[in-house]
């Protein structure tokens, strides 16, 4: 190791395989003498699996089960998005009960994903450990919290879906089996029991020493306004319009009018941009910034207590936003579990040819599926745009800002850690990004 203490010397940070993220990527940062950032490349080398290629020729009814295997942390997001895109293509409007149960499944997955991400991927960086397993002997209370919260929210997906990863009850236009009222109420009790831990988690996250940085990209999220007698619209996950901090307000079918993607020679993932050329950030921070008014009142109070004020442009604070969403998601799960009284419905499908688009909020950001389906229900075209490929350009842009800001003051190891922390703050999923 030839570490040079001279701050004006050039620096190269080269990571061949980034740890504690989902999937495979490396990083190259080059800073010249004097501090000019010469190169930033997030080298996503996750091998392509060609989902968009082999979905062609498959039946609409298989699509959900197939795409849930794109991602091991957010299978429910891919599954839901796929079902909604198929329904959009066939002109099917699922029942209010189906839509609410899907919302419950998605909320439970967002919470579960955030819990794992914060405890197992983020905390070790801030406490100086290689991984959470090494932290466990010293952090007994945190381990208890992680396991108890994870089990309570996983139970929701397991009881309703059959298993927490790749659930089987969710199909086009409904659920093959519905939980009974007692199960729903006992799941709500389970979550109520761990709610104080979510509060403590947010308190703990607020005490971490986040580096300072201001992202320059826009925030983008799905937002649903209040309808009818509702006081405020729900904090959108599966339904709504695309909005951005730059003033975008679009029907989801117009996604391609405002967004585009480009291939990168050095990465297997494609990179999305706004057509204006701007980059954007989606995910927890974007959602909390753009939909703060739609959070539960208790969550707003918690936000105040942990000193979160919006708009918060620090990408490292995505972790704070995730902590708020864990708390809010638990409140929302309790509400849905207490309110929904499942009534028997049989999912029926009238197969029709058509083109369908769906956009949902996966734990780490916007997820788009578009299919063209023929009259026998066979998929002719498939296009999937995942959260991490949407955040890709903004992550690199933030890395650039970070390297410019800390490139001279930090030594090699400190800068390397900051770069890794920044990438992890986005909670990227490289398996999703390539798919």
Partner 1 sequence: MLVKKKKLRLGVFKYSCCAGCEFELIYFQKYIRETFDNVDIIYFRMAKSGGSEEGPFDLVLIDGAITEAWQVDQLKRVRQVARFLLPIGSCAVNGGIPAIKNHTSELDMEKRVYQDITHVHSIKTHPVDDYVQVDGYIKGCPMGRKDLYEAFTSLLLGKRPSFVNYSVCVECKIKGNTCVLISYGWPCMGPVTNGGCGALCPSYNRACYACWGPMEDANAPALARQFEKMGLAPDDIFRRFTQYGSTKPEFRRGAELYGSTTQPF
Closest distance to partner 1 from the beta carbon of 143 (Å): 7
- Residue 333, SS3? helix
- Please tell me whether residue 200 binds partner 1 under the rule CB under 8 A: no
- Report the distance separating Cα 328 and Cα 319, nearest Å: 14
The continuous run of DSSP H or E covering 370 comes out as strand 365-373
Is 158 near partner 1 (CB under 8 A)?
no
Question: Which one of 12, 38, 176, 304 is in contact with partner 1 (CB under 8 A)?
Answer: 176
Nearer residue to partner 1 within complex by CB, 68 or 238:
68
- Least distance CB 59 / partner 1 (angstroms): 6
Q: Are the C-beta atoms of residues 46 and 23 closer than 8 Å to each other?
A: yes
Give exposure, 64-73, as e/b (b: 16+ Cβ within 10 Å): bbbbbbbbeb
Could you say which of 36, 39, 62, 214 contacts partner 1 (CB under 8 A)? 62
Angle at which helices 75-90 and 60-67 pack, to 10 degrees?
160
> Strand 365-373 vs strand 354-362: parallel, antiparallel, or unpaired?
antiparallel
Cβ 259 to partner 1 shortest distance, Å: 17
Site string for partner 1, 104-123 (x = CB under 8 A): ------------x---x---
Q: Among 88-96, 168-176, 218-226, 291-299, which window interacts with partner 1 (CB under 8 A)?
A: 168-176
What Cα–Cα distance (Å) separates residue 338 from each residue in 47, 112, 352?
43, 19, 36
Per-residue tokens: 349: 């499908």
The end-to-end CA distance of the chain, in Å, is: 36
Out of 7, 34, 91, 130, name the contact with partner 1 by CB under 8 A: 130
Binding mask 340-379 for partner 1 (x = CB under 8 A): --------------------------------------x-
Q: How far is the CB of 364 from partner 1 (least distance, A)?
A: 14
- Looking from the CA of 130 toward its CB, the CA atoms found within 13 Å total 1
Stretch of 98-106, 161-169, 198-206, 207-215 lying at the interface with partner 1 (CB under 8 A): 161-169
| Least gap, CB of 380 to partner 1 (angstroms) | 11
* CB of 20 or CB of 313, closer to partner 1: 20
- Interacting residue with partner 1 among 150, 223, 271, 397 (CB under 8 A): 150
Closest CA to 367 of 66, 79, 59: 79
Residue that has been written with the tokens 């734990």 in this structure: 363
> At closest approach, how far in Å is the CB of 359 from partner 1?
20
Over its C-alpha atoms, the chain yields an Rg (Å, rounded) of: 21
CB 74 within 8 Å of CB 113: yes
For residue 413, count other CB atoms closer than 10 A to its CB: 11
Give yes or no for residue 145 binding partner 1 (CB under 8 A). no
Phi, psi of 286 (to 5 degrees): -60, -45
By CB under 8 A, residue 26 contacts partner 1? no
Closest listed residue to residue 67, CA positions, set 371, 279, 375, 304: 371
Q: Which among 65-73, 103-111, 213-221, 223-231 is the span making contact with partner 1, rule CB under 8 A?
A: 65-73
Among 13, 27, 44, 71, binds partner 1 (CB under 8 A): 71
| Residues in CB range of 350: below 8 A, 6 or more apart | 90, 92
| Binding positions for partner 1, rule: CB under 8 A | 17-24, 47-50, 52-54, 56-59, 62, 65-66, 69-73, 75, 116, 120, 124, 130-134, 136, 143, 147, 150-151, 154, 162-163, 165-166, 168-169, 171, 176-177, 263, 265-266, 268, 378, 431
């Amino acid at each position: 190791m030839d570490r040079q203490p001279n701050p004006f010397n050039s620096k190269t940070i080269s990571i061949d395989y980034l740890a504690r993220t989902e999937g495979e990527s490396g990083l190259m940062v080059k800073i010249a003498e004097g501090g000019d950032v010469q190169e930033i490349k997030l080298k996503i080398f996750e091998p392509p699996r060609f989902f968009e290629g082999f979905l062609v020729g498959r039946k609409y009814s298989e699509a959900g089960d197939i795409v849930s295997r794109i991602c091991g942390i957010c299978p429910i997001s891919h599954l839901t998005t796929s079902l909604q895109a198929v329904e959009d293509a066939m002109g099917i409007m699922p029942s209010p009960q189906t839509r609410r149960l899907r919302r419950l499944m998605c909320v439970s997955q967002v919470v579960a994903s955030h819990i794992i991400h914060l405890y197992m991927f983020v905390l070790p960086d801030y406490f100086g450990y290689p991984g959470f397993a090494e932290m466990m002997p010293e952090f007994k209370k945190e381990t208890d919290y992680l396991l108890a919260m994870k089990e309570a929210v996983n139970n929701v997906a397991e009881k309703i879906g059959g298993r927490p990863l790749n659930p089987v009850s969710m199909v086009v236009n409904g659920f093959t089996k519905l939980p009974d009222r007692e199960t729903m109420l006992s799941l709500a009790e389970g979550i109520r029991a761990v709610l104080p831990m979510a509060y403590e988690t947010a308190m703990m996250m607020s005490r971490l020493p986040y580096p300072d940085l201001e992202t320059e990209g826009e925030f983008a999220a799905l937002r649903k306004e209040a309808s009818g007698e509702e006081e405020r619209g729900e904090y959108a996950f599966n339904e709504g319009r695309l909005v951005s901090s730059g003033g975008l307000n679009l029907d989801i079918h117009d996604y391609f009018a405002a967004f585009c993607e480009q291939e990168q020679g050095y990465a297997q993932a494609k990179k999305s941009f706004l057509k204006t050329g701007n980059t954007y950030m989606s995910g927890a921070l974007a959602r909390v910034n753009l939909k703060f008014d739609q959070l539960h009142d208790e969550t707003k109070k918690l936000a105040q207590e942990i000193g979160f004020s919006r708009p918060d442009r620090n990408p490292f604070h995505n972790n704070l936003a995730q902590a708020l969403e864990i708390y809010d998601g638990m409140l929302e799960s309790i509400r849905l579990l207490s309110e929904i009284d499942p009534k028997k419905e049989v999912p029926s499908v009238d197969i029709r040819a058509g083109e369908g688009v769906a956009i949902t909020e996966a734990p780490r950001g916007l997820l788009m599926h578009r299919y063209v389906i023929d009259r026998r229900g066979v998929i002719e075209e498939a296009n999937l745009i995942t959260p991490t490929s949407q955040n890709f350009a903004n992550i690199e842009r933030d890395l650039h800002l970070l390297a410019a800001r800390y490139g001279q003051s930090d030594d090699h190891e400190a800068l390397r850690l900051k770069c890794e922390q920044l990438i992890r703050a986005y909670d990227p999923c490289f398996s999703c990004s390539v798919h």
